[in-house]
Copies of this chain bind each other. A is one copy, B any other.
Amino acid sequence: MDGEASGATQRPTLAAVAALAGVSGSTASLAFSGAGPVSHATRTKVLAAAEALGYAGPDPRAQSLRRGRSGIIGIVVEDALQDAFRDPMSLAMLDGVAAETGNAGAGLLLLSDAGGPQIDIRSAPMDAVILVGCSTRLDESVAVLRQRGMPVVAIEADDMPGVLSISLDNRDATARLARHLRELGHESVSVVSLPIDGSKVQAELPQDWDGRATSHTTRDRLRGLRDVYPGFGGVVATRSSIEAGRAAGLALLEGAAATSGKRPTAVVAQSDLLAIGVIRAAESLGIRVPEQLSVVGFDGVQIDELGEHDLTTVIQPAQDKGRAAGRAAVELVAGGTPQSMAFTSELHIGSTTAARSQQ
């Protein structure tokens, strides 16, 4: 099958190339890497020998041992990769990270913090780690990484000593949305929230969410809402998706209508996908948006599932967050001391919010 006979089992090494070229290993290394004074003639000889032997370049494993660097940056996402990549915001962040690490010549190693026998943060050869989305077991992960002496960047996690954090104004942005609703006269406002912890079941938002929430993002956004509407209630969705939003929206709008006869006049959805789902739920119940129900989202995704609606939301710079995280990781590897960064979102008032109907 293979063109080469028996040599196929053993790739040539730099030493072999050096031997064929009639120079020492050190000289061959210099000739290849270009670092150090090597005569033109010697370089040519070495390159020719490499060509003759089919030498594919220095073994990255040996290089990384010697240099103490692997050129790989780990990126830890919560749960299954499938879930992680369904969310357009995660995707945008990932893209930003990839752009920066790619520019710096580093590769991205995908890791999930779901259990299993897989290669994980304690045994992967990497130079730095980026934690995306605040997982439940974050402290644990950080402890392991700290022991390994690994630089850590976290996107939207609680501040932790030794961890560089890339944050968003989740609380303030939500408060701005809420004030917008208040100015429109809304008094009965409910939330459709992202999961507050690791459990993936839809449920009514518990009273003690502030103490129970392990998701930093969710909790901060809830706090922002509370700043304007103390005592609000709502539903916790299973994940950030249109379908989950629709289900939560149905529970919220049908349930409230059934029990007390009055349903909220505005819904704060914690992501645009959820908001779209809520709008669909409302429409399927014959509730007109925004005339009978105002809906706001969060994120600023640009997808064409919105139909003719122009969603009122806050636009977060997701890709920039990713870029910042990637750049910070690269700088940390290089020995620099980058600073934590806080990003701000921008309020976008669309056509899904309107003054509370007077009826």
Residues of A whose CB lies within 8 Å of any CB of B are 1-2, 8, 11, 54, 56-57, 59-62, 64-65, 68, 70-72, 80-82, 85-86, 91-92, 94-95, 98, 101-112, 116-119, 122-125, 144, 147-149, 161-162, 242-243, 304-305
> Judging by beta carbons under 8 Å apart, are A81 and B106 in contact?
no
Question: In the assembly, what is the distance between CA of A65 and CA of B59, in Å?
Answer: 9
> Judging by beta carbons under 8 Å apart, are A148 and B70 in contact?
no
> Judging by beta carbons under 8 Å apart, are A102 and B116 in contact?
yes
> Judging by beta carbons under 8 Å apart, are A54 and B147 in contact?
yes
> Judging by beta carbons under 8 Å apart, are B103 and A118 in contact?
yes
> Judging by beta carbons under 8 Å apart, are A92 and B98 in contact?
no
Neighbouring B residues of A118 by C-beta, 8 Å: 101-107
> Judging by beta carbons under 8 Å apart, are A95 and B123 in contact?
no
Rounded to whole Å, the gap between the CB of A267 and the closest CB of chain B is 19
Question: In the assembly, what is the distance between CA of A91 and CA of B61, in Å?
Answer: 29
Can you spell out 29 A-B residue pairs with CB atoms less than 8 angstroms apart? A2-B162, A8-B149, A56-B148, A57-B148, A60-B70, A60-B123, A60-B124, A61-B61, A61-B64, A61-B70, A61-B125, A64-B65, A64-B125, A71-B119, A71-B124, A71-B125, A72-B109, A85-B95, A86-B91, A102-B112, A102-B116, A103-B116, A103-B118, A105-B117, A108-B110, A109-B110, A110-B110, A242-B304, A243-B304
Neighbouring B residues of A81 by C-beta, 8 Å: 94-95, 98, 108
> Judging by beta carbons under 8 Å apart, are B105 and A56 in contact?
no
Query: 16 new A-B pairs (CB below 8 Å) besides A82-B91, A109-B110, A243-B304?
Result: A11-B148, A54-B147, A56-B122, A56-B149, A60-B123, A61-B68, A64-B65, A80-B95, A85-B91, A86-B91, A101-B118, A103-B116, A104-B118, A107-B119, A109-B109, A125-B125
Rounded to whole Å, the gap between the CB of A359 and the closest CB of chain B is 31
Rounded to whole Å, the gap between the CB of A158 and the closest CB of chain B is 18
> Judging by beta carbons under 8 Å apart, are B98 and A119 in contact?
no
Rounded to whole Å, the gap between the CB of A335 and the closest CB of chain B is 11
Rounded to whole Å, the gap between the CB of A273 and the closest CB of chain B is 11
Neighbouring B residues of A111 by C-beta, 8 Å: 107
- Name A97's closest neighbour in chain B (CB-CB): B81
Rounded to whole Å, the gap between the CB of A309 and the closest CB of chain B is 14
Question: In the assembly, what is the distance between CA of A119 and CA of B68, in Å?
Answer: 16
Rounded to whole Å, the gap between the CB of A138 and the closest CB of chain B is 18
Q: Give the top 8 A-B pairs by smallest Cβ distance, nearest first.
A: A82-B95, A60-B125, A102-B118, A107-B119, A56-B147, A56-B148, A61-B65, A81-B98
Question: In the assembly, what is the distance between CA of A327 and CA of B71, in Å?
Answer: 26
Neighbouring B residues of A65 by C-beta, 8 Å: 59, 61-62, 64-65
